[in-house]
């Protein structure tokens, strides 16, 4: 990364860390994206001038509330997709988020990513996926990569996993904050200390040794290569097949394709 870009990211990370420190770090719950991971994602949205975030996987709304707060303060938009299979949990989450201007969508991300990618062609978009996970989530994002998509991010990229290697192949170690923010400021350090404290108190299952949210910033060459990727791990849901179904308006069939791929090929 050029020195100037590194400085811009560091400044953005200070702003993002300050926002997360406004009470959000302490609200972290098991299963949610860690506070520093959220701050890193926001910092990348700032440096890439993202105007709309499309999130999939909100559960109790931890990540969604932070994104919604950032969006409402900065004149940005947030679309948040979830299956909402547990209706009581979904209702509590909607209540938690009621004060924020968020487009809350109930449905399968395999369909909704297609619909929203199409509707948001005129915006500068950032993708954040935390459900579904793994290769299905990657192929879904890759299928939605129009020229207007500035970055794509996915949670739970565990060390040694092939999905993590895929992200690093395109974006290098800088897809994770440890490398991208090798030099960081006082608010980032404060957030780091707070996060360690909270994770210890909560007996967090995930380690804080290495972050698992990969954020891939897209330039035309990366976008072209990710969109066109053909991988065995995608099974039947190769990005170009998913994109073709969306282009035909066959959104429901897309969810079925992912289900069929899992049943026939286990992926
Ligand atoms: C780990 S939780 C998300 C936690 C949240 N991002 C946070 O940090 O607070 C995963 C969520 O993904 C949702 N999910 C899983 N598969 C999905 C799919 N195919 N479409 C939409 N949502 C999905 C689940 O309903 C669940 O609420």
Q: Look at the chain and report how many structural domains it folds into.
A: 1
5 Cα to the center of ligand 1, angstroms: 32
What are the backbone angles phi and psi of residue 168, rounded to the nearest 5°? -70, -30
| pLDDT recorded at residue 205 | 86
99-113, 126-140, 173-187, 197-211, range with the lowest pLDDT = 197-211
Name the residue at shortest CA distance from atom 5 of ligand 1. Answer: 58
Buried/exposed code over 74-108 (b: 16+ C-beta within 10 A; e: otherwise): eebbbbbbbbbeeeeebeebeebbeebebebbebb
138 Cα to the center of ligand 1, angstroms: 14
Domain that holds residue 94: 3-265
**What is the β-pairing status of strands 52-56 and 103-106?**
unpaired
| pLDDT recorded at residue 182 | 87
Position 73 pLDDT exceeds 90:
yes
132 Cα to the center of ligand 1, angstroms: 6
Query: How far apart are the C-alpha atoms of 254 and 240, rounded to whole Å?
Result: 12
184-214 pLDDT tens trace: 999 999 999 999 999 999 888 888 889 999 9
> Mean pLDDT, to the nearest integer, of 70-90?
98
Query: How far apart are the C-alpha atoms of 139 and 232, rounded to whole Å?
Result: 11
53-57, 96-100, 156-160, 203-207, range with the lowest pLDDT = 203-207
84 Cα to the center of ligand 1, angstroms: 8
CATH number reported for the structural domain that contains residue 28 in this entry: 3.40.50
Token match 């793994």: residue?
134
Mutate to test the pocket of ligand 1, among 55, 65, 82 (most ligand atoms within 8 A of CB): 82
């Amino acid at each position: 990364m050029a020195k100037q870009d590194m400085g811009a990211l560091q400044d953005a990370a200070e702003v993002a860390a300050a926002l997360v420190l406004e009470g959000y770090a302490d609200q972290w719950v098991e299963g949610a994206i860690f506070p520093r991971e959220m701050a890193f994602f926001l910092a990348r949205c700032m440096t890439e001038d993202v105007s709309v975030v499309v999130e999939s996987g909100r559960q109790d709304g931890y990540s969604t509330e932070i994104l919604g707060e950032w969006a409402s303060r900065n004149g940005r938009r947030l679309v948040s997709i979830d299956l909402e299979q547990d209706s009581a949990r979904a209702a509590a989450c909607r209540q938690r988020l009621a004060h924020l201007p968020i487009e809350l969508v109930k449905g399968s991300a395999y369909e909704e990513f297609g619909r929203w990618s199409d509707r948001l062609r005129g915006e500068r978009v950032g993708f954040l996926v935390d459900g579904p996970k793994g290769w299905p989530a990657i192929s879904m994002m890759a299928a939605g990569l129009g020229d207007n998509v500035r970055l794509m991010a996915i949670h739970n990229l565990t060390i040694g996993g092939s999905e993590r290697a895929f992200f690093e192949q395109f974006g290098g170690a800088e897809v994770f904050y440890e490398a991208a923010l090798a030099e960081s400021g006082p608010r980032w350090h404060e957030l780091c200390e707070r996060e360690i404290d909270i994770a210890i108190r909560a007996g967090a299952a995930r380690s804080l040794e290495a972050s698992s949210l990969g954020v891939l910033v897209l330039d035309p060459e990366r976008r072209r290569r990710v969109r066109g990727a053909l991988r065995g791990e995608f099974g039947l849901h190769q990005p170009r097949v998913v994109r073709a179904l969306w282009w035909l308006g066959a959104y429901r069939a897309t969810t079925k394709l992912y289900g069929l791929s899992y049943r026939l090929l286990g992926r």
